[in-house]
Structure 1
Amino acid sequence: MLLVVVFCGANLPVMAADWRCGADIIAGDAKTLLSTDPRPVWRDVQLNIEAVDAFAAAELPGKSFRLADIAFVPGYGDAARVWLEQASANKVSITPLAERSDFLGRIPVRIEDQVIGDWQAELLAAGLAMLVPESDQDMSELIGIEDTAIKNHSGIWSDPSPETAYYVRAHDAGAENIPTARDAIGRFAVIDGKIRSIEHQEWRSYLNFGSNWREDFTIALDATLRDAFANGEDFQDILQDWVGQEIRVRGVIENRGGPYIALENPFWLCLARSSRAQ
């Protein structure tokens, strides 16, 4: 069934995210990791929607584009394409967010127009796409927009089925009737839960969400990522402060005795805002 497509109007208000992600939780001043360089912009472009993740424009021959930092998911592609085809009636501005094309020859971009505003933001607000950070841009606003969509059960976040849900909890949420990470083994999902303990090994650290690490949900940080979060400080001290905190992580859930995610990108992990984070 296609979702009803409604444009929310230009320029969504900035959302105050309940989460700190990526550069916001890296020790010290990590804002230097985010790009502040001006990007070239192609203006007044008429897009042709070839697929939900492939656009072209007669004004820019030989180029193919896709929206950066978001992904479209099975079951909602038709609704997303309807949205994109309606949006493409407007001329847009295109900002490339990568120096090179991806492996399919598409340039990851931001797309905006004067009627709808930021396409990524609007698709996330409607629950027609999932945030999958990949660029060197500040994700704070998009994280807040997606968080609101999750809370409102919009679009892809409305599915409560253990077999297909994209939002799950690390453990049984009881009366909330939310699937668990174990239900989502084998697919990409967003998982919320509270860290109970952390184990460090030479090349990896494990964030454990239950009393039995062999069966309960675990996040693995390789040495490069944990050092990035520590940003020159002692990684054990930095990560220990996460114990007891609510975490949001996204990725493909593997089966390693229990559900398991090997974190790929620091922006794929978030800490809930608390009195310690203010």
Structure 2
Amino acid sequence: MFLDHSIFSQSPIKHQKWGNFWAGSTLVWRKGALMLIVVVFCGASLPVMAADWRCGTDIIAGDAQTLLSTDRGSVWRDVQLNIEAIDAFTTAKLPDKSFRLADIAFVPEYEDAAMAWLELASANKVSITPLAEQPDFLGRMPVRIQDEGLGDWRAELLAAGLVMLVPESGQDMSELIGIEDSAIKNQSGIWSAPGPETAYYVRAHDAGAENIPTARDAIGRFAVIDGTIRSIEHQEWRSYLNFGSNWREDFTIALDATLRDALANGEDFQDILQDWVGQEIRVRGVIENRGGPYITLENPFWLCLAK
């Protein structure tokens, strides 16, 4: 039975450039907690609002620990930033360090607008909080940046629709998820082009009168996808969340064995996942073509369940 829905399908995978939307993470199961070790790194009425989502550790069975400690050491205060690029900041106060905003990604079509926003914001002195133990592969430390006037820079950029949320730090994302949802609903920025070839928000399948593009329309792109799980199939090394009656054509999310076991947190993963059938799901990631639109879940914070 393990061959019925195999990743070794002969269906073609459509390879395209993802811009700066791809992020990779390594997950390990350690002392009963899911640990995120390394991270390399759309406008229509929505059926479920942000306050109704449970994401990341909130959907892990039992009493799961947080993915990462919220304490990352020093907070640098009263810092004047130089904006070298939209994803690379420096400061004379810390000449040996480079920073980028954690948990967000910039959309190519809106990079100029985001850069203009950052340059204006950099006139204020800020506080910088590291959200990772080590810099990324380009030597940039993922951080949260705040100032008294604007607050969290990520929140402001999300509210304006200038960036997309791509959780990586293991922090509580509930506030930022809510802000992004409002931007989607209000058709702000990147969410203002809901056409099939441009939308970053899509539905798993046809939404009828809502006139929202489907996951099939967004193959080859990083997108936010909503849909209802119709069935779940388990194989030895992965499980498949199916969003239609024909998995060969309909949208599917793949969970590898490590991730599904971590979500079950020591309980029977089949029982835990079976409770998801019929639930509204939100997921984000690169949509591949494996006969039908398909996402391999990279990070538990990229999956949310409706409450």
Question: Could you state the TM-score of these two structures normalised by the residue count of structure 1?
Answer: 0.90
CA distance in 2, matches of 1:49, 1:18: 36
- Cα 1:129–1:265 change in 2 (3 A) is same
Give 2:241's aligned amino acid. Answer: L
Aligned residues: 259
Which runs of structure 1 show a deviation greater than 4 angstroms over 4 or more consecutive aligned residues? Answer: none
2:246 paired residue among 202, 212, 234: 212
Task: Give 1:161's match in structure 2, choosing from 195, 199, 221.
Answer: 195
- Could you say which residue in structure 1 is the equivalent of 2:219? 185
Aligned mate of 1:100, from 118, 134, 138 = 134
Report if aligned partners of 1:17, 1:147 keep a CA contact under 8 Å in 2.
Answer: no
Q: Give secondary structure in 1 for the equivalent of 2:144.
A: strand
1:49 to 83, 87, 110: 83
The one-letter code matched in structure 1 to 2:250 is: D
Q: Mean alpha-carbon deviation: is it higher for 28-37 or for 225-234? A: 28-37
Query: Could you list the runs of 5+ residues in structure 1 that have no partner in the other structure?
Result: 1-14, 274-278
Map of 1:6 onto structure 2: none
Which of 64, 89, 97 is the equivalent residue of 1:63? Answer: 97
Q: Which moved more, 1:23-32 or 1:185-194?
A: 23-32
After TM superposition, the score normalised by the length of structure 2 is: 0.82
Unaligned segments of structure 2, at least 5 residues: 1-48
Matches for 1:1-278 after TM superposition, within 5 Å: 17-37=51-71, 39-273=73-307
Return the alpha-carbon distance in structure 1 between the equivalents of residues 209 and 221 of structure 2.
Answer: 24
Q: Tell me if structure 2 keeps the 8 A contact 1:198–1:208.
A: yes
Checking the alignment, whether the CA contact within 8 Å between 1:69 and 1:132 is kept in structure 2 is: yes
SS in structure 2 of the partner of residue 17 of structure 1? helix
What's the Cα RMSD here?
1.3
Which letter does structure 2 place at the counterpart of 1:253?
Answer: I
Percent identical: 87
Give the Cα–Cα distance (whole angstroms) in 2 for the partners of residues 31 and 143 of structure 1: 20
Contact 1:34 1:138 in 2 (8 A): no
